[in-house]
Amino acid sequence: MTTPYPVPLATTEPLGSVTRVLALAEGDGEDAFTGTSLPQLAGRIYGGQVVAQGLLAAAATLPEAADPGAPVRLPHSVHAYFMRGGLPDSPVGFEVDRMHDGRSFSQRRTTASQDGAPILTMVSSFQVTQEGADVQAEAPDVPGPDELVSALEIFRTIDHPVARFLGRTAAFDLRHVEGNIFLRPGAEVSGRQHLWVRSRGKVPASASQTVHRALLTYVCDQVMLEPALRSQGLSWRSKGMSLATLDHAQWFHRDVDAGDWLLFVQDSPSSQGGRSLARTEVFSSSGTLVSTIAQEGMIRMPTATASGTGRWAVRPGDDPA
């Protein structure tokens, strides 16, 4: 398959489904691309997918895309705003604005739209690999993934359409150190958590570092707001909860291997006015800090004067609670 940015297709499922939707097609006009979406029970596009697609659309317009001899510029930061939910059954258009190409850095603005209405806007920055100081935070000492229960094992024990759907379609294995909050709140009310993440299936050896970084962007949206839920004593099954990602900021510090176990060290410093902030440091299995992520989301629960929609993950009428 020829795509504007080369995304090799994984041969195993469900990872192959993710690499297929990340492989965009040419759109109408210069620096325009189109993408499809994975099915979602919520009836709206998964946000991590759109940000990852937008990142790859931007990468397709970098100097090395036109000049194979130009030095490779890797994504080092992404700042995205979600404006409205998208429909998984409709194509997504991506338009890229070439904001700047300097000697070391390039910046791109990407807008994702459906039916002429923007659903996401983002700015991404890319850098030529350069020498400089190499200092990082230390990874915490926590139990390894082999000592923890996989989310996939949990999904397979739950007789519910959401659990069955996730057990079939989840492209990444998640293993929580403090225990998961899929069915009930954590044992302690705390705004901190640790979990291990790794792709289910082998990432093709030909996948570029940009594709690995896009895969990390794809998966992190699944769990970014979990420490905020923990801080409020909530779980994914809290009745009437409304949840949506508002914005996403991510920095890439070093090379990422999406097929390696990655440790997410997460906290939520603030929740107020229906908005919650969450932060994540991502470490490789060897303790290398590869990415830092921040995300603000809307988390609303029913109150004396307002009722929640309960539309965080499934269609109305199929609430898992």
Distance CA(206)–CA(235), nearest Å, equals 39
Instruction: Specify whether the CB–CB gap between 293 and 224 falls below 8 A.
Output: yes
Distances (CA, A) of 139 to 133, 192, 295: 19, 15, 21
Catalytic amino acids? 221, 245, 295
Task: Name which residue leads in pLDDT, 113 or 156.
Answer: 113
In SS3 terms, 61-79 reads as CCHHHHCCCCCCEEEEEEE
Task: Name which residue leads in pLDDT, 166 or 88.
Answer: 88
Residue-level pLDDT at 168 = 87
End-to-end CA separation in angstroms for the chain: 42
Residue with token string 């699944």? 222
Residue-level pLDDT at 319 = 34
What are 278's strand-pairing partners?
295
Angle at 245 between CA 84 and CA 153, to 5 degrees: 120
pTM for the model stands at 0.93
- Show the domains of the chain with their CATH numbers: 14-129+143-300 (2.40.160.210)
Residue-level pLDDT at 165 = 86
Distance CA(30)–CA(314), nearest Å, equals 37
pLDDT digits (tens, 9 = 90+) for 205-253: 999 999 999 999 999 999 999 999 999 999 999 999 999 999 999 999 9
Instruction: Specify whether the CB–CB gap between 149 and 196 falls below 8 A.
Output: no
